[in-house]
Structure 1
């Protein structure tokens, strides 16, 4: 598949109606890593529930023929948020002085990769936001560096590192204007 013409993008501000779809897509997206504690479906479900309860939660899901094929979700982070506290070096004040949107997860089923679906989901999610910056964390080794390179091509730049939990690898923190 080289294009994604037949997807429907749905935006949600609560988790209750799409939690199952998010878990299903996550399991497919992260299948090779599910044996690792940080990537286990239960660990993802706990993070998802916590993030959904935080301010500004928004999720965008892509559907093809009624089946979920990709997702992204984000929430608002404020000055002093634990997200910024775990980032080293300390991010520049221009990024943290106002609220920002933290893209917590984005994933597309393997059959839908390289179709533009991830970018369409990403852009649809950001279209709902009014924060001046969007930040995300990426495993620099993911896809042999291809995921980091993709985010760079979308305009993100590295600003630091973070290890959100003891089970998590050290991640690269990236940011760009919304």
Structure 2
């Protein structure tokens, strides 16, 4: 009988140099097949990470293989306000229930290949949103990721499509999805 490993989750609210290095190393493993694309280069990601970590409400959850084991995944979010550029770049108006109040914007979720398919992403996602005050969460997903599997995964978590956006000229078009975290 085999058992599914359970990661240890740790939440951080400040991006220290050591934490930045851990996230950067995880990103390199998670996005290894995309690193040649201009939007996915490590230095571009680290620039986004630095910018996001300086925004209100930033936090990250790191998953570890065991209490003192190797990091195997990360998920981070910050708060977006009703007038944030997050909403202004959409190709169509976003439903008011998402833009009327602050929302948690899940900016990144990544799990190293050996730990995929066992629920680590969901565990990190839920831990990331636990205890936050925002009533809604949003995220952006490349609809082609995993042949559409990633978007379907988020739909299974309760997310629905609320718009389409191209965050930067080097970025692919992404689907923005939202869900209710708490009433």
**Band the TM-score falls in, shorter-chain normalisation:** over 0.9
The aligned residue for residue 15 of structure 2 is 15
The aligned residue for residue 147 of structure 1 is 150
The aligned residue for residue 169 of structure 2 is 166
The aligned residue for residue 113 of structure 1 is 116
Matches within 5 A, 1:1-178: 3-5=4-6, 7-16=7-16, 17-65=18-66, 66-178=69-181
| 1:87, distance to aligned residue in structure 2 (A) | 1.2
| 1:113, distance to aligned residue in structure 2 (A) | 0.3
| 1:128, distance to aligned residue in structure 2 (A) | 2.8
Does the CA-based 8 Å contact 1:15-1:52 persist in structure 2? yes
Distance 1:2 1:33 in 2: 31
Does the CA-based 8 Å contact 1:88-1:161 persist in structure 2? yes
Residue ranges of structure 1 left out of the alignment (5+ in a row): none
Distance 1:2 1:94 in 2: 41
Does the CA-based 8 Å contact 1:4-1:116 persist in structure 2? no
Distance 2:138 2:85 in 1: 13
Q: Matched residue of 1:167: which SS?
A: coil
Change (3 A) 1:14 1:108: same
Does the CA-based 8 Å contact 1:2-1:114 persist in structure 2? no
Distance 2:22 2:83 in 1: 32
- Give TM-score, length-normalised by structure 1: 0.97
Q: Deviations over 1:32-74 (max 9, x none)?
A: 0000010000000000000000000010000114211000000
Q: Matched residue of 1:90: which SS?
A: coil
- Give TM-score, length-normalised by structure 2: 0.94
Residue ranges of structure 2 left out of the alignment (5+ in a row): none
CA RMSD across the alignment: 1.1
Change (3 A) 1:156 1:59: same
| 1:21, distance to aligned residue in structure 2 (A) | 0.9
| 1:2, distance to aligned residue in structure 2 (A) | 7.2
